[in-house]
Amino acid sequence: MKLSKMEKLMLKGRYGEACKRALELVIAIAESYGYGELVRIRGAHISGISYKNIGDSGLEYIKDLVEGGAKVRVKTTTNPCGFDLDKPWLFDVDEGFFKKQMEIIRLLKEMGAKLSLTCTPYYVDNRPRRGDHIAWAESSAVIYANSVIGAYTTRESGPSALAAAITGRSALTRDHTDERKPSIMVNVQAKVFDYLDWSLLGYVVGKLAPDERPLLRVKRVTCSSDELKCFCAGLGASSTTSIFWLTTSDYNVVQGVKRIKVTHRDLRRARDEWALTRRPTLVFIGCPHCSLREIKEIAKELRGKRVKEDIKLFISTSRSIYAMASELGLVEVLERARAHLIKDTCLIVSPIKLSKNDVVLTDSAKTAYYAETMTNVMVAVEGRRKCLEEATK
Amino acid sequence: MPRGGNEVIFRGKGLVKGYFRGEALVTSMPISFLGGVDPLTGMIVERGHELRGKVLADRVLILPHGKGSTVGSYVIYSLAKRGLAPRAIATLRADVMILTGCVISGIPLLDGIPIETLSAIRSGDVVEIDASRGILRRTSR
């Protein structure tokens, strides 16, 4: 492999033991999965932050890296951790978990990572520009960065994104070149209206084409970037996909690739799998983390209402967006309605205890999918407005 | 490619260089290191796995590929630090989890071995992996 002078010095250990080991990993990935070359990156986003996910093994690995002198070389943000740093009591965190999670956070800070603790770093904390090469983990953010923003990133794993952050390099793969072209045409016959529809559409497309790069042909698109974000999360949860395209025009129809369609019935069937048959005990909105616009919408909806005593309503976002919402007085509106605006975490990566009697209601296919596979509670999906109604009626 | 007596050689691509000679542990089922292996003992605990109850320490692990979360890489690392990880791994098709685990733990990894390996080598055979030269050799049975 052709290496620059600096990369050779990294391998000799001139930039520390951690940097050497990190580059060895990037090179190994480049040799086995990539084009045998490295690409310089402008930013990184690392996953595997919650102690619930990485456990003692992950903590130990990050600690060894820091002891080996690891520092990030590019702007690096982090995925959510196990609890809201300002309200850990909401998430059934015990002392052991608290200490271990704070240790992980201390280590990441020492490495120079920005503790954005969010799965939507592209709103405020780490916004790539079109054409930027980056190394991101977190499937929903990867798909968003590639497809909505037009950046270039492989769907990195937790350790590989960390290695890229420390070396400033990633493996050159197809995702970093313009050879990433549609491999399948998806004719969307279903009508999509709200966040839940987009989220389910992503989930269904991913199930039908788990290892493809889909081009979606829709009749007309009137959607916000927030709705596309929900689509990205659904798609990321059910596939290995790193990019998609959306078109309304016949000019963009690609010849010579597979074709499938998604009908209203396909979406209906996915939705029926998670039908609401009992009264919810926990309503969760904010997978992926809410934007400021979404929080404004929710605050408007909740103004003058109150969440029922036996129901918890969680709305999750990043600490950066939380600060803006607070400035605008939206946090107060939500608190008055007995809703919890939480940051730094989500239902899935927190150790929150759910019993068999709990019913989780959400407007995210990704949360529904993971809650169902990781816990034994009953899970249901409904549109956002209906979720808020259920919590307050 | 049999070569007299009990000796058999298979070739692959060394993704992590290194040499080890020892007892083989062979499976035709993929392994998830997160959840499927106990990080404190290095024992395979996945329900329904044909190697359930076997320990990985000091073995040459031969398997099709890994499965499950990339957090499994951290489990391999943690096992290696405690001397509980396999001393070498050979795969038909390495996945990101196994590759990352081997690189960060310094475990020799030979990838792309032919599928016949899984039947020609049995658990308990003594094998030799030379990942630098891309060779897996069964020396005796």
CATH label of the domain that carries residue B131: 3.50.30.10
- DSSP reduced 3-state for A288: strand
Give the model's pLDDT for residue B5: 58
Closest by CA position to A391, among listed A288, A294, A330, A314: A314
Whether the CB of B126 is below 8 Å from some CB of chain A: the reply is no
- DSSP reduced 3-state for B108: coil
Give the model's pLDDT for residue A132: 98
> Which is higher by pLDDT, A34 or A177?
A177
CB A192 within 8 A of CB A88: no
The least confident of A125-134, A139-148, B29-38 is B29-38
- DSSP reduced 3-state for B83: coil
Q: Is residue A288's pLDDT more than 70? A: yes
Give the model's pLDDT for residue A98: 98
Judge if ipTM > 0.95: no
Tokens standing for B2? 């049999």
Mean pLDDT over A172-200 rounds to 95
Of A53, A56, A159, the CB nearest to B104: A159
Split into its structural domains, chain B has a count of 1
* CA–CA dist A341, A309 (Å, integer): 16
Element (H or E) spanning A207, and its range? helix A195-208
| Residue A217, strand partner residues | A187, A247
* CA–CA dist A282, A272 (Å, integer): 19
Q: What percent of chain A has pLDDT over 70?
A: 100
DSSP string of A147-160, one letter each residue: III--B--B--HHH
Give the model's pLDDT for residue A293: 98
Mean pLDDT over A97-108 rounds to 98
- DSSP reduced 3-state for A328: coil
Task: Give yes or no on whether A5-176 and A274-392 have one common fold.
Answer: yes
Q: Confidence class of residue A219 from pLDDT cuts 50, 70 and 90?
A: confident
* CA–CA dist A134, A136 (Å, integer): 6
* CA–CA dist A387, A358 (Å, integer): 15
Give the model's pLDDT for residue A392: 97
Mean pLDDT over B64-77 rounds to 88
Per the structure, the complete domain to which residue B28 belongs is given by 8-140
Which amino acid belongs to residue A353? K
Mean pLDDT over A107-121 rounds to 98
DSSP string of A48-74, one letter each residue: --SHHHHHHHHHHHHHHHHHTT---SS
Closest Cα in chain A, distance from residue B141 (Å)? 32
Q: Confidence class of residue B71 from pLDDT cuts 50, 70 and 90?
A: confident
Handedness of CA A206, A207, A211, A215 (dihedral sign): negative
* CA–CA dist A233, A320 (Å, integer): 20
Residue written as tokens 């070739």? B11
Q: Between chains, do A55 and B71 touch, taking CB under 8 Å as contact?
A: yes
Count CA atoms closer than 13 A to A284's CA, side-chain side.
26
Q: Which residues of B are catalytic?
A: 69
Q: Is residue A196's pLDDT more than 80? A: yes
Closest Cα in chain B, distance from residue A232 (Å)? 19
Task: Choose from A32, A52, A53, A370 for mutation: most chain B CBs within 10 A.
Answer: A32
Whether the CB of B70 is below 8 Å from some CB of chain A: the reply is yes
A276 phi and psi angles, rounded to 5 deg: -85, 110
CATH fold for the domain made of A274-392: Aconitase; domain 3 (3.30.499)
Mean pLDDT over A288-312 rounds to 97
Top-level CATH class of A5-176? Answer: alpha beta
Give the model's pLDDT for residue B1: 46
Whether the CB of A56 is below 8 Å from some CB of chain B: the reply is yes
Q: What is the pLDDT of residues B44-54, one digit of tens each?
A: 998 899 999 99
Mean pLDDT over A264-292 rounds to 97
Tokens standing for A288? 């992926």
Mean pLDDT over A64-79 rounds to 97
Whether the CB of A236 is below 8 Å from some CB of chain B: the reply is no
Q: Is residue B3's pLDDT more than 60? A: no
Q: Is residue A78's pLDDT more than 60? A: yes
Domain ranges within chain A, ordered by starting residue: 5-176, 184-272, 274-392
Q: Is residue B2's pLDDT more than 50? A: no
Burial class (CB in 10 A: 0-12, 13-18, 19+), A273: middle
Whether the CB of A55 is below 8 Å from some CB of chain B: the reply is yes
Give the model's pLDDT for residue A146: 98
Contacts of A32 in chain B (CB under 8 A): 13, 15, 94, 99, 111
* Closest residue of chain A to B34, computed from CA coordinates: A54
Q: Is residue A308's pLDDT more than 90? A: yes
pTM value? 0.92
Please name the residues in contact with A78: beta carbons below 8 A apart, sequence gap of 6 or more.
A45, A46, A49, A108, A113, A114, A115, A116, A117
| Peptide bond connecting A288 to the previous residue in cis, omega within 30 degrees of 0 | yes
Q: Between chains, do A32 and B73 touch, taking CB under 8 Å as contact?
A: no
